[in-house]
Structure 1
Amino acid sequence: MPLIDDITPLLITYDEIQNIERTLAKLAWARRIVVIDSGSTDGTLEVLARTPGVEVHHRTFDSFAGQCNFGLEAVTTDWVLSMDADYELSDALVAELCALRPTEGQAGFRARFVYCIHGRPLRGSLYPPRTVLYRVAGARYENEGHGHRLRRDGTVTDLKAPIYHDDRKPLARWLRSQLGYAAREAAHLLSASRASLSRADRIRLMGWPAPMLVFLYVLIAKGALLDGPAGWFYAFQRLLAEVLLALELLDRRLAGRPSRSG
């Protein structure tokens, strides 16, 4: 059996009407798509219902790891393709999936991302590569800060073609999400041992340097300055995200100090 016939895409959704049709269009090759939805009311469920092969499971959101682990239990193939609802597989990646012939010891494959702002690809971003295609047996997600991380043993290699990250939900939705992300990330940074944190996270833990450093890094090192309005938009997004995290860290530190009496 070709590997692509033994892959089940797994999507996590919540009010993704601006993205879901583009994501599903690049998964037309899949015999079955498992979706874990946490209460969409914007038309996402209607789009999913009319898409062949889609199987929707409903679960109240508690964490990304919880949603993903719940979804893995519904996957019956040996391999799963872990997708966010704002991912679009490139045509080159679909072709690469068709040609994949993993060895017995191959546990998974890692993909890089091209970040897009309203369909405009950026030269670079802070979005890291992640293991998106892997064997289901032994796979487990754990929460880490505002995100989640896949835990599994075995060899993971890089795919050549990219995935497009193109979230077109309204800016107000992004802002609301960032407030929650900042709270979870601050809790993680403050509770983790300093030795376990990366250099970047230790700078973020300090609070004040990170926003401007990230802004300049995105503009200059990642080339956003050359991407026109879309690049500036992304740079300001990352600046604001770091400002919210710095404020959350400062707020928690101040709340934990004794106040002046009298």
Structure 2
Amino acid sequence: MLEEITPLILTYNEAPNINRTLQCLTWAKKIIVIDSYSTDETLKILYSYPQIKVFQNKFDSFASQCNYGLGKISSEWVLSLDSDYVLTDALIHEINALKAETDTNSYSVSFKYCVFGKPLRGTLLPPRTVLYKQEKAIYKDDGHAHRVWVNGNSKMLSGYIHHDDRKPLSRWLWAQDSYMVIEAKKLLATPTSELSLGDRIRKQKILAPLIILIYCLILKGGILDGWHGWYYALQRVLAEILLAIRLIEAEKLQN
């Protein structure tokens, strides 16, 4: 199965992360990377791997970058990864054992969030469709995030991917603030009746940070992870506070 798969990765200044991701992809005959004109050591690292083909494309949205990348892939299957995703050995073996001839068009995988390399007991990250047939897939934007839509049957794999982002906190804050501007626009533009319960709570601004703190530490067991769990919980609380501030700003600008 692995011989029929091409990994697809988006990059922009991912020097602190990309090597760990690529070291788990040495089995791939070809890796497609869509780079948004990185200015750090990312390109130097990428070019050190002979099986990598780099295409630079101006960033418009995550969905458009992914769709651009799909057009560069000739294999039947695509393994879509962020540049801070690290495949576990168990997942690699599981994918390799999949039957080549199957009526399944996509597979989803769960994540273990890592703080400074330590996997946490719980995470807010939902499973994501990462392995799919190229001709069946198209990406669409969803708020600040993006989703791949794949026609046909889908299954869940049992292995995990480690989400291990080690970029500096300043970069994380910049990214979160950018995401929350987009997320605020989505929440305000969507009728309340069409929002999920979680998004309805977030739209109220005040309760969400407190709920997220309790959810991460108690319901997800983060308190058992020591300071790593507290670090993750405080990150998520800060993200919700940024969203609340951006919601207030957007609402005032509309008046």
2:74 to 73, 76, 82: 76
Q: Runs (4+) of structure 1 moved beyond 4 Å? A: none
Which residue is 1:231 aligned to? 229
Which residue is 1:59 aligned to? 57
CA distance in 2, matches of 1:155, 1:95: 22
* Counterpart AA for 1:4: L
Q: Is the 8 A contact 2:106 2:150 kept in 1?
A: no
CA distance in 1, matches of 2:254, 2:151: 40
Which residue is 2:145 aligned to? 147
CA distance in 1, matches of 2:158, 2:99: 14
CA deviation digits over 1:187-219, x for unaligned, max 9?
Answer: 111111223221101111111111110111101
2:177 to 176, 179, 190: 179
TM-score of the pair, normalised by structure 2: 0.98
CA distance in 1, matches of 2:193, 2:133: 31
1:91 to 89, 92, 115: 89
Give the SS at the match of 1:160.
Answer: strand
CA apart distance, 1:103: 5.0
* Counterpart AA for 2:197: R
Which residue is 2:240 aligned to? 242
For these two proteins, the number of residue pairs brought into alignment is 255
CA apart distance, 1:5: 0.6
Quick one: structure 1 residues 103 and 203, their matched pair in 2 at CA, closer, same or farther if it must change by over 3 Å?
A: farther
CA deviation digits over 1:44-65, x for unaligned, max 9?
Answer: 1001001020000001111100
TM-score of the pair, normalised by structure 1: 0.95
* Counterpart AA for 2:47: A
* Counterpart AA for 1:159: L
Give the SS at the match of 1:112.
Answer: strand
CA distance in 1, matches of 2:172, 2:60: 19
Indicate yes or no: 2:99 matched with 1:105. Answer: no
Give the SS at the match of 1:162.
Answer: strand
Give the SS at the match of 2:158.
Answer: coil
* Counterpart AA for 2:138: R
Q: Is the 8 A contact 2:5 2:77 kept in 1?
A: yes
Which residue is 1:209 aligned to? 207
CA distance in 2, matches of 1:30, 1:179: 35
**Which ranges of structure 2 fall in alignment gaps of 5 or more residues?**
none
Which residue is 2:25 aligned to? 27
**Which ranges of structure 1 fall in alignment gaps of 5 or more residues?**
258-262
Which residue is 1:260 aligned to? none
Q: Sequence identity, in percent?
A: 48
CA RMSD of aligned residues (A): 0.9
